[in-house]
Amino acid sequence: MNTFKNYTLKNTNLKNRIVMPPMCMYSSDETGMANDFHYTHYVTRAIGAVGLIILESTGVVENGRTTDNDLGIWDDKHIDGLKKIVNGVKKYGSKIAIQLNHGGRKYTGTASQAVAPSAVKFDERSTLPKELTRDDIKEIVLNFKEAAKRADKAGFDAIEIHGAHGYLIHQFLSPLSNLRKDEYGGDIKNRIRFLKEILEAVKEVWPKEKAILLRVSAYDYKEGGITLNDMIEIINEIKEYIDIVHLSTGGLIPVEINAYPGYQVNYSSIIKEKCNIPTIAVGLITDINMAEEIISNGRADLVAVGRELLRNPYFVLNEAKSRNIDFDYPEQYKGAFK
């Protein structure tokens, strides 16, 4: 099966095409430090033979998290805890990336006021965010750059810039949340500027042999928001800075989404074709047959399996056994997979 074949992401060899996407565990505290839960959680999926594990959304500043219980990477003090996870995951043959994020107006913690491209609430229950100045924007670009340097020191194989799900980069990209009149707002070229500056800054310090991933929401599910055609233009504008695109939808505004198995895969397929760039498909993918269809039909290069890996950390092992695939099972568990 193609799902179990190796894949080379920049200079990193993945032993299969299954990705564990970032999923917030809300298990840190106001310090943003990684702890024993995070170590156990991620290393268990490495023992389970996931090809690429992407660490959950990790704040580049304190108020860049979504809550005060998210992981952080805004201080050198965070490096050791993250490095321990990296070493544990690599010990069992998986590769590991980290998702760098700024939550923007969706930050709900108490470290300081939430910020956004424009003073527009996420919903009626949310607090009004502070509109970022040009100097604030430059500082956040620097925050991403410094976070990338720390991620490299921690030993991550790749980084993912979070431009999806209604967080700060997405807020700049969408005309529903970006009402600015300066060079960061208005037409789509201006709205891309913040993301482009982040990618340029990260590229300066991130090792050339390591991959840069980008997570995006390809559709806002509301008239006047980002459309698939907009996202094609966005990716074509910045694709020289990235190696693969991780395709989601929604998250910018409260809206009802008809979520069904594979509901976001077409976005991956179209971006892959129209932008000529590798993609990761995601969206309620729950079994290897789904993954195999997506990969074998060229709709994505990698497949992210989220909730199923929360329920079943040995998803890959079990799927290999059920299909009698020749597989390198963990030595300690081989008796269970005979």
Q: What is the DSSP string of 215-268?
A: EEES--SSTTS--HHHHHHHHHHHGGG-SEEEEE---SS-------TTTTHHHH
Largest Cα separation within the chain, whole Å, is: 64
- Which of 134, 99, 141 is closest to 117 using CA atoms? 134
* Tokens read off for 39: 């170590």
CB distance 198 to 242 below 8 Å: no
Per-residue pLDDT of the chain (338 residues; tens, 9 = 90+): 999 999 999 999 999 999 999 999 999 999 999 999 999 999 999 999 999 999 999 999 999 999 999 999 999 999 999 999 999 999 999 999 999 999 999 999 998 999 999 999 999 899 999 999 999 999 999 999 999 999 999 999 999 999 999 999 999 999 999 999 999 999 999 999 999 999 999 999 999 999 999 999 999 999 999 999 999 999 999 999 999 999 999 999 999 999 999 999 999 999 999 999 999 999 999 999 999 999 999 999 999 999 999 999 999 999 999 999 988 899 999 888 87
Distance in angstroms (rounded) separating the CA atoms of residues 298 and 150? 35
Number of Cβ within 10 Å of residue 151's Cβ equals 29
* Tokens read off for 182: 């300066």
pLDDT of the residue at 338:
74
How far out from the chain centre does Cα 99 lie? Answer: 5
Amino acid at 24: C
- Which of 195, 279, 300, 291 is closest to 241 using CA atoms? 195
Helical (H) or strand (E) element with 14: strand 12-14
> How many CA atoms lie within 13 Å of 338's alpha carbon, on the beta-carbon side?
5
Is the pTM for the entire model greater than 0.95? yes
Distance in angstroms (rounded) separating the CA atoms of residues 75 and 70? 14
* Tokens read off for 231: 């996202």
* Partners of 101 in beta bridges: 59
CB distance 85 to 55 below 8 Å: yes
Distance in angstroms (rounded) separating the CA atoms of residues 9 and 202? 18
* CATH number for region 1-334: 3.20.20.70
* Partners of 211 in beta bridges: 158
Q: Is 221 left (phi over 0), alpha (psi -120 to 50) or beta?
A: left
- Coil, helix or strand at residue 288: helix
* Tokens read off for 267: 């976005």
b (16+ CB within 10 A) / e for 108-136: bbebeebbbbbebebeeeeeebeebeeee
* Partners of 19 in beta bridges: 52, 304
CB distance 217 to 164 below 8 Å: yes
